[in-house]
Structure 1
Amino acid sequence: MPPYSHPAEFEGRRVLITAGSKGTGRATVQRFLDAGARVMTAARRRPEDLTGADFVEADLTSPDGAHVLAEAAMERLGGVDVLVHVLGGSRAPGGGFAALTEEHWRAELDLNLMPAVRLDRLLLPQMAARGSGAVIHVASIQRRLPLHDSTTAYAAAKAALTTYSKALSKEVGPKGVRVNVVSPGWIYTEAADALVQRLAASSGGTPDAARQGILEALGGIPLGRPARPEEVAELIAFLASDRASAIHGADYVIDGGTIPTV
């Protein structure tokens, strides 16, 4: 546990985190557990080594999966105080816009936009009725810096998530619910490595060449490395905490300086 994390900061808080079985989601689950929260998370399959969090098996790319998770949160936790949408990623092939079929576009929207929309619709009313709550949507700097060869649909879906989040913040802020966005750059997770392998396979090159291609497409990372999942989790926890009680409708970038403009 980082030394700046108070062990009781989220004591008594009920926190729902999507995609908590690995990567940034897993780090976020652990961050809230370390600070005393009651945590529920969901994924399509339960990881063998997940401990401390209440787990729900659900495919959140479908409306039914969102209902399963929301119902479990209401029944087991009695409601949600903090809602963190981490679920996302890109499964589309490289090759630019012409390589993207109707099915690819639908799959990217169903993975990166609609789970947040559905869960918000199901769980924000109880926050608004109580007059308090925090929602954090994890988007991406690719909403401003898309990789045209490989992640056009992903970038468009994350841009839609960011715009939706701003609209939502205007609606529910007066009801006591804070909504913010975290937009990471390249985080080196299992999903990032899978993207590297997929790009290498589609180009016939090596993983090292694919990694270098991503860095070049991003224009480089001035900090010299991708972010770690734990670093993104720390920003999420800050925005969910009382320390950020006046931060609302904002989009926080954590990208090592990748975006070259202010």
Structure 2
Amino acid sequence: MTGVAGRVALVTGAGAPGGIGFAIARALAAGGARLCVTATTGRIHARGEELGAMSHIADLTDPAQVAGLFAAVEAQLGPVEILVNNAGMVQTGLDVPRGHLADWTDEVWAHHMALNINTTFHCCRAALPGMAARRFGRIVNISSVTGPVVTIDGSSAYATAKAAITGMTRSIALEYGPRGVTCNAVLPGWIATESSSPEEIAAGTRTPVGRPGRPEEVAACALFLALDEASYVTGAMLVVDGGNTVQEMKG
């Protein structure tokens, strides 16, 4: 069992100390991965220091900054072998309101797509040629149950983008499986993070498990999919929601 030891791993959206991205980064670091964490603000450097990892500021909606990120990782650690696309949903300093589909402006719709699907696309596009050439790669896309499985009133743009991530995941699995690359998605439900609203925490108590999930529980699933030994798992959608989507009546 080699796990992730010695593998070069990149985790995006890892700036929040109580978030899913940082929990995944912590799990990879504990497993011995050679790690880079990235986010859009300078607080990512504190996360890197906590883990003894490389840190890099980048806006992943910008392809040029993504190219710079991958070049920096390769120069310092080596080519990316494990990519965890966690960036999305929210971005520090930006507040996007909810709204019904016909009410979205072109600008707000484009922002949702940029933040929640383009970031993942840009990073996958940067990582895949090298992974395929080396005949090894692990891509783990953090999507959501919102979009692929269920949806929430007022969240049509977010749901559309997160559903798109699962389509991209399956396409990558099909196209790059013969070249040693696996691509899977993790679909969290109600997870208690520092950005969770009181309503979201309350919704978590109405799951079959009876509580919201913890970032570490999502991280454990992402870590499994990143392992060398997970070589026969690809194109999978792993729901991590405490059983919430299997029950018709909630509460």
For the pair 1:45 / 2:41, whether they are aligned, the reply is yes
What one-letter code is carried by the residue in structure 2 that aligns with 1:58? A
1-structure distance, mates of 2:137, 2:152: 34
- The match for 2:186 is 182
- The match for 1:27 is 23
1:205-225 deviation per Cα after TM superposition (whole angstroms, max 9, x unaligned):
xxx4x447x72xx99411111
Of the three residues 214, 237, 240, the one matched with 1:254 is 240
1:261/1:245 Cα in 2 relative to 1: closer, same or farther (>3 Å)? farther
1-structure distance, mates of 2:232, 2:128: 19
1-structure distance, mates of 2:195, 2:134: 36
Which shows bigger deviation, 66-75 or 22-31? Answer: 66-75
Between Structure 1 and Structure 2, how many residues are aligned?
Answer: 237
2-structure distance, mates of 1:121, 1:43: 18
- The match for 1:135 is 139
1:53-96 deviation per Cα after TM superposition (whole angstroms, max 9, x unaligned):
10011111222221221111222222011011011115531343
* Helix, strand or coil at the partner of 1:36: coil
1:18-76 deviation per Cα after TM superposition (whole angstroms, max 9, x unaligned):
01112011111111111111100111113263221100111112222212211112222
CA contact (8 A) 2:116 2:162 kept: yes
2-structure distance, mates of 1:49, 1:232: 22
- The match for 2:87 is 87
Gaps of 5+ in 2: none
Which shows bigger deviation, 161-170 or 90-99? Answer: 90-99
CA contact (8 A) 1:132 1:177 kept: yes
Which shows bigger deviation, 66-75 or 20-29? Answer: 66-75
2-structure distance, mates of 1:211, 1:230: 18
For the pair 1:145 / 2:150, whether they are aligned, the reply is yes
CA contact (8 A) 1:46 1:55 kept: no
1-structure distance, mates of 2:213, 2:221: 12
Deviation at 1:97, TM superposition (A): 2.5
CA contact (8 A) 2:10 2:80 kept: yes
For the pair 1:228 / 2:214, whether they are aligned, the reply is yes
CA contact (8 A) 1:92 1:100 kept: no
What one-letter code is carried by the residue in structure 1 that aligns with 2:46? D
Structure 2-normalised TM-score? 0.87
1:67/1:16 Cα in 2 relative to 1: closer, same or farther (>3 Å)? same
2-structure distance, mates of 1:10, 1:95: 41
- The match for 1:69 is 69
For the pair 1:168 / 2:172, whether they are aligned, the reply is yes
1:83-112 deviation per Cα after TM superposition (whole angstroms, max 9, x unaligned):
110111155313433442211111111111
- The match for 1:12 is 6
- The match for 1:201 is none
1:137-194 deviation per Cα after TM superposition (whole angstroms, max 9, x unaligned):
0100011211022x211110000111111011100001110111101111111232xx
Structure 1-normalised TM-score? 0.84
What one-letter code is carried by the residue in structure 1 that aligns with 2:34? R
2-structure distance, mates of 1:9, 1:211: 34
CA contact (8 A) 1:89 1:191 kept: no
2-structure distance, mates of 1:27, 1:222: 24
Give the CA RMSD over aligned residues.
Answer: 2.1
What one-letter code is carried by the residue in structure 2 that aligns with 1:179? C
